[in-house]
Homo-oligomer: A and B are copies of this chain.
Amino acid sequence: MEPFEELTSLDKLVHEPARLAIMTALAACERADFLYLQRITGLTKGNLSGHISRLEKGELLTVEKDFDGKIPRTTLALTEKGRETIVAYWEQMERLREAVDRWRPGEAPA
């Protein structure tokens, strides 16, 4: 498959910028709470909440709600599948970048 065709078929669940930021941050943090994640990604609460729901539905992360004394706290962490997915994503991007650099037209381009 041409590298360009692989680009068009990137996993959109992970590729979307906000979710890419969330997944990547969680890969670096192991676990993080909702508000910390909001700070480092710069997303609004509503936006972050929505993306978390989508990632949870895709089984890429888990949501754990508990209390720190009396204040509620939501802690996020990648699932095993989530970790594999985000690692694979970055490896794929790196691989594609190199493949594209090496690529030469196979048939008359114009």
A12 contacts B17, C-beta separation under 8 Å: yes
- Residue-wise, chain A 1-44 has the 8 Å CB interface mask toward B (1 for contact) of 11111011110100101101110110111111100100111110
B105 contacts A29, C-beta separation under 8 Å: yes
| A71: Cβ under 8 A from any B Cβ | no
Q: In the complex this chain forms, how many copies of it are found?
A: 2
| A85: Cβ under 8 A from any B Cβ | no
21 contacts between A and B (CB under 8 A): A2-B42, A4-B42, A5-B21, A5-B41, A8-B17, A8-B18, A8-B42, A12-B17, A15-B15, A24-B100, A28-B100, A28-B105, A29-B110, A31-B110, A32-B109, A36-B107, A36-B110, A90-B97, A93-B93, A93-B97, A94-B97
